[in-house]
């Protein structure tokens, strides 16, 4: 291990694995270590026995739940936007050849106590029971503006400069009511709070376009895709990719201690008495606890069920967003459902997650609005974890630390963090102008 590397990556969570893959493809010499004996860190996938051990402490789950090895339960479950940044990153690195994707059946929003399909186009807006007759027409006009909007073509801007006009001002122009604004902002544009209303509208319009373009891509009921066997496949895919480019992976490396030189810059990592030298260290918050601060905590429930989530058109894979305003909360709640059709559970079994940014210490009552949507459950596990963000200055200490995973059930925030870190590490941006058809090959098989 006594070699010098350009970068040492600590932790095999999804963010660290994507970065390790991107940096290896760039030709950097990468050493990737993890104190655990499995891939994935906080974003690992567990079989039923592992899940049981983690949450129940006993080794034996009941036989009626089926075979342990048929379960691949993601600890940080997130869907991918079909045309989104993560899929572009996967294609850019060619890691897609190690993965098979399947479209997600449904995308829903909770409004006035009911679950509704998220309307994403002008035609869907006209059919949606989310809105009354006149509101539908107003929403349709707004959707047509968004669909036709092209940043490079002023003729499509209708005299509006979306870099200065706020989202609130743009929506006011179309006279949309608060409930419509709510589902557009949270279920289509995937904002996590209402700050976007006072920010330039361009970001929201781009997010809406991404949603509708992703939706059109697979002609399915949602804009999302998800790997067969769950997200645990991703870190392993990136590990393979890194190896192809000469990267080195080492699991079960205890006490990975970052070493600093006289100037306070990271210069190596020591484990089991050996030190590998490096120019930069990339890691999750658990490896450099003195350089991060706590920013919140995520509350979540994991359910094993024998049926799809009710009122979702029998969807075997589904996302439901419960906007904060509908629940009288400060942050949105997310329901994520998947099943044996994505090979994450035995035939006839369904997995559901409910997650939110915790606003109290009473997880069960806090998650109740989401759990109430699930119907009868076979098993229910509760969990809470702290979220951290880096407070160091990477230009001074050469340490690049990822932010903990948030409560969202989609990948857009995660991959933004990764790409920002990549730019800080390398001084350049990832080229994401890729042929998107490379990630749809698996789609045709179903």
The pLDDT, as a whole number, for residue 221 is 80
Mean pLDDT in residue range 162-186: 93
| Span between the terminal Cα atoms of the chain, in Å | 45
| pTM listed for this prediction | 0.88
Lowest mean pLDDT among 14-23, 211-220, 269-278: 211-220
The pLDDT, as a whole number, for residue 446 is 35
The pLDDT, as a whole number, for residue 376 is 97
The pLDDT, as a whole number, for residue 235 is 85
- Classify the C-alpha dihedral 412-415-420-426 as positive or negative: negative
Mean pLDDT in residue range 129-137: 90
Which helix H or strand E contains 46, and what residues bound it? strand 45-46
In the chain, % of residues over pLDDT 90: 66
pLDDT at 406 over 60: yes
The pLDDT, as a whole number, for residue 438 is 62
Local confidence band at 97 (pLDDT 50, 70, 90 cut-offs): confident
Mean pLDDT in residue range 358-387: 95
Size of the chain, expressed as the number of residues it contains:
446
Report the C-alpha gap between 146 and 19 in whole angstroms. 33
The pLDDT, as a whole number, for residue 151 is 93
Give tens-digit pLDDT for 185-208.
Answer: 998 998 988 899 999 999 999 999
The pLDDT, as a whole number, for residue 444 is 39
User: What φ, ψ does residue 131 adopt, rounded to 5°?
Assistant: -130, 150
Cβ-based neighbours of 43, under 8 Å, separated by 6 or more? 13, 14, 15, 74, 75, 76, 231, 235, 405
Local confidence band at 125 (pLDDT 50, 70, 90 cut-offs): confident
331 closest CA partner among 407, 277, 391, 226: 407
Mean pLDDT in residue range 202-225: 88
**Angle of the 14-25 helix axis to the 233-244 helix axis, nearest 10:** 20
The pLDDT, as a whole number, for residue 442 is 44
The whole-chain average pLDDT of the chain stands at 91
pLDDT at 440 over 70: no
Lowest mean pLDDT among 84-93, 297-306, 385-394: 84-93
């Amino acid at each position: 291990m006594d070699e010098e590397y350009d970068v040492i990556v600590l932790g095999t969570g999804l963010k660290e694995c994507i970065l390790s893959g991107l940096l290896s493809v760039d030709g950097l010499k990468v050493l990737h270590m993890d104190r655990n004996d499995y891939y994935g860190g906080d974003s690992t996938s567990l079989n039923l026995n592992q899940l049981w051990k983690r949450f129940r402490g006993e080794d034996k789950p009941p036989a009626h739940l089926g075979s342990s090895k048929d379960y691949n339960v993601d600890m940080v479950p997130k869907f991918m936007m079909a045309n989104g940044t993560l899929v572009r990153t996967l294609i850019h690195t060619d890691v897609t050849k190690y993965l098979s994707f399947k479209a997600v059946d449904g995308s829903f929003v909770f409004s006035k106590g009911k679950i509704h399909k998220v309307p994403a186009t002008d035609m869907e807006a006209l059919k949606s029971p989310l809105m009354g007759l006149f509101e539908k027409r107003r929403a349709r006009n707004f959707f047509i503006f968004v669909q036709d909007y092209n940043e490079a073509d002023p003729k499509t801007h209708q005299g509006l400069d979306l870099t200065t006009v706020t989202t609130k001002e743009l929506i006011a122009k179309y006279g949309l009511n608060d409930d419509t604004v709510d589902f557009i902002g949270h279920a289509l544009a995937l904002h996590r709070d209402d700050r976007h209303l006072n920010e330039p509208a361009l970001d929201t319009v781009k997010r809406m376009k991404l949603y509708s373009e992703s939706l059109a891509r697979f002609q399915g009921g949602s804009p999302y895709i998800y790997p067969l066997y769950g997200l645990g496949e991703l870190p392993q895919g990136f590990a393979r990719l890194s190896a192809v480019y000469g990267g080195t992976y080492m699991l079960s490396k205890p006490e990975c201690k970052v070493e600093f030189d006289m100037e306070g810059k990271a210069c190596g990592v020591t484990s089991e008495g050996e030190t590998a030298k490096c120019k930069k260290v990339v890691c999750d918050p658990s490896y450099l606890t003195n350089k991060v601060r706590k920013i919140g905590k995520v509350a979540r429930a994991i359910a094993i069920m024998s049926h799809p989530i009710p009122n979702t058109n029998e969807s075997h894979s589904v996302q439901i967003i419960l906007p904060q305003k509908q629940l009288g909360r400060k942050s949105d709640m997310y329901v994520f459902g998947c099943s044996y059709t994505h090979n994450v559970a035995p035939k006839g079994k369904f997995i559901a997650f409910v997650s939110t940014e915790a606003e109290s210490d009473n997880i069960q009552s806090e998650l109740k609005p989401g759990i109430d949507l699930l119907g009868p459950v076979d098993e229910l596990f509760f969990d809470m974890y702290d979220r951290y963000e880096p407070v160091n200055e990477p230009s001074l200490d050469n340490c690049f630390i990822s932010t903990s995973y948030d409560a969202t059930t989609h990948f857009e925030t995660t991959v933004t963090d990764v790409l920002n870190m990549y730019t800080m590490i390398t001084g350049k941006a990832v080229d994401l102008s890729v042929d998107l058809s490379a990630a749809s090959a698996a789609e045709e098989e179903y």
